[in-house]
Amino acid sequence: MYIVRDGKSGFYIINSSFHVLWHVINFFWYVFKYSPANLSLFRSPENLYSPSGFMDYWIAGFLVLTAGVLLLPWLWFRLTNSKTRDEDKQEESEKKKGMIPKGSLGWPVIGETLTFIACGYSSRPVSFMDKRKSLYGKVFKTNIIGTPIIISTDAEVNKVVLQNHGNTFVPAYPKSITELLGENSILSINGAHQKRLHTLISAFLRSPHLKERMTRDIEASVALTLASWSQLPLVHVQDEIKKMTFEILVKLLMSISPGEDLNILKLEFQEFIKGLICIPIKFPGTRLYKSLKAKERLIKIVQKVVEERQVATTEMPNSPANDAVDVLLRDVNDGGCSDKQSHPLDFISGKIVEMMIPGEETMPTAMTLAVKFLSDNPVALAKLVEENMEMKRRKLESGKEYGWSDYMSLSFTQNVINETLRMANIINGVWRKALKDVEIKGYLIPRGWCVLASFISVHMDEDIYENPYQFDPWRWDRINGTANSNICFTPFGGGQRLCPGLELSKLEISIFLHQLVTRFSWTAEKDEIVSFPTVKMKRRLPIRVTPVERTSPISVEDH
- Kindly provide the b/e burial profile for residues 227-237, where b requires at least 16 CB atoms within 10 angstroms of the residue's own CB: eebeeeeebbb
What pLDDT sits at residue 550? 65
* Per-residue 3-state assignment (H helix, E strand, C coil) for 121-150: HCCCCCHHHHHHHHHHCCEEEEEECCEEEE
323 Cβ neighbours under 8 A, 6+ residues apart: 251, 252, 253, 254, 255
Q: Which residue ranges of the chain lie beneath pLDDT 50? A: 1-60, 63-64, 67, 71, 74-80, 82-96, 340, 483, 553, 555-559
DSSP per residue, 8-26? EEEEEE-HHHHHHHHHHHH
**CA angle (306 as vertex; 301, 311 as ends), nearest 5:** 135
Tell me the CATH number for domain 184-425+460-547.
Answer: 1.10.630.10
Contact present, 471 and 373 (Cβ < 8 Å): yes
177 Cβ neighbours under 8 A, 6+ residues apart: 187, 276, 277
DSSP per residue, 276-319? SSS----STTSHHHHHHHHHHHHHHHHHHHHHHHHHHHHH-TTS
Radius of gyration of the chain (CA): 35
Residue 108: phi, psi to the nearest 5?
-60, 140
Q: Give the relative orientation of helices 208-229 and 237-254 as an angle to the nearest 10 degrees.
A: 150
- Cα 522 from Cα 71, distance rounded (Å): 85
CB atoms within 10 A of CB 42: 12
**For 99, which DSSP code?**
B
Contact present, 179 and 272 (Cβ < 8 Å): no
Examine residue 344 and say whether the peptide bond preceding it is cis (omega within 30 degrees of 0).
no
- Cα 409 from Cα 391, distance rounded (Å): 10
> Tens digits of per-residue pLDDT, 64-119?
455 455 545 544 444 445 444 444 444 444 444 568 999 999 998 889 989 998 99
- CATH 1.10.630.10 in the chain: give the residue spans: 184-425+460-547
> Tens digits of per-residue pLDDT, 416-442?
999 999 999 999 999 999 999 999 999
What pLDDT sits at residue 293? 96
Residue 69: phi, psi to the nearest 5?
-65, -40
What pLDDT sits at residue 340? 47
Contact present, 553 and 390 (Cβ < 8 Å): yes
- Cα 329 from Cα 331, distance rounded (Å): 5
- Cα 121 from Cα 546, distance rounded (Å): 33
Contact present, 152 and 161 (Cβ < 8 Å): yes
Q: Which residues pair with 450 in a beta bridge?
A: 149, 433
Among 325, 350, 348, smallest CA distance to 337 is for 348
Q: Is 499 annotated as a binding residue?
A: yes
